[in-house]
Amino acid sequence: MAKREGLRTSATLTDDLPADVVRAASQRFFTALGEDAREFIARINADEAFLQMLVIFVRANSIKLSTSESRARKIMGQNFLGVEQAIAHFKVKPSKEERVLLSKVPFSEKTLVGCKDTHVLVAVFPLTILQIRHMVGRKRFSDVNTTGPWYQEQMFAQEASEACWHLVRKTPIKGSMNKTWADQHKLIGLNNKMPNVRTMIYTIFLYFLSTGIHLFETTLVRCSENFIPYDYCSHGLFGDHVCLGLFTEEGESNQYYDGWDYGGLRLCKDERDSAEYPDLGLASEVRAPG
């Protein structure tokens, strides 16, 4: 009788699946474990920590979104760019380790609700700027130099970090236009930081490919990296901060710069940190806890 009661409990916890279906799945799983099945069963019944670790692992490697991701998607709506979008548009192939890293969104629901209209929550995979450029096509970048982009030898264009979530602001920081970098930097605040160029390019293009919307279409923003001048060895100094923006469709003319009619996303190094420009603000993202 106790056994039959246990089966009814299992069926309830599995959304009223028939007991024979649950039993069959269990049998297949433990049969696949082979000689390790006996120890596995014993640990599940006796070790709560082991059971919870197993549940976390299964959920993290499931095709379905984790609870945290599901909630984040509902909150952010169109401004959610998760694993599915990266697979669809950037053709990434997430590893098990990357799925685990991205299984939980590090930002609180309160933070996401406050940023749902102003920011993009994006799962950034380890792709370099040059790899992104290759995938989306060079014509989506505004490169006047036909021999190659000026940044192709820069370290920031060749680097990529591990997969993680970013909460990137969709517009320049309020009040940051027409200011020097020193004055812009004062506006960041403790809970925000300047995103790097790669994060911005990844977000801008994945958002465009997912929604058809051009972010930073009429503005430029400074990012966290400084470019290295060609005479770096002789001077030993870094250049000013890299700027990007003015993202228009291929072939569209950009009214802000005479003769600039290439369209695409512009990366530039000619805007001095000490100068003020009416169309140049500061990029920002929310600092992840921890």
User: Is 155 domain-assigned?
Assistant: yes
Domain co-membership, 81 together with 179: yes
- Is residue 165 within 8 A of residue 96, CB to CB? The reply is no
Cα dihedral 95, 98, 99, 105 in deg (nearest 10): -170
Give the integer Cα–Cα distance in Å for 206 and 223: 18
User: Is 233 domain-assigned?
Assistant: yes
| Residue 62: predicted pLDDT | 53
Alpha-carbon distance values, 231 to 72, 158, 223 (Å): 46, 20, 22
Below-70 pLDDT ranges, the chain: 1-17, 58-67, 143-146, 229-239, 250-263, 270
User: Is 57 domain-assigned?
Assistant: no
Domain co-membership, 126 together with 205: yes
- List b or e across 206-228, with b for residues whose CB sees 16 or more CB atoms inside 10 angstroms: bbbbbeeebbbeebbbbbbbbbb
Domain co-membership, 135 together with 263: yes
User: Is 232 domain-assigned?
Assistant: yes
User: Is 58 domain-assigned?
Assistant: no
- Residue 278 has a CB neighbour count (10 Å cut-off) of 9
Domain co-membership, 124 together with 229: yes
Domain co-membership, 110 together with 232: yes
Domain co-membership, 166 together with 32: no
Give the integer Cα–Cα distance in Å for 77 and 83: 15
Query: pLDDT for 188-246, tens place per residue?
Result: 988 999 999 999 999 999 999 999 999 999 999 999 988 876 544 433 345 689 999 98
User: Is 68 domain-assigned?
Assistant: no
User: Is 92 domain-assigned?
Assistant: yes
Query: pLDDT for 151-175, tens place per residue?
Result: 888 888 899 989 999 999 999 999 9
Domain count, the chain: 2
Domain co-membership, 30 together with 99: no
Give the integer Cα–Cα distance in Å for 276 and 240: 13
* Cα angle: 73, vertex 78, 80; to 5 degrees: 45
Range of the domain at 185: 77-286
Domain co-membership, 23 together with 125: no
Domain co-membership, 15 together with 109: no
Model confidence, pTM: 0.73
User: Is 185 domain-assigned?
Assistant: yes
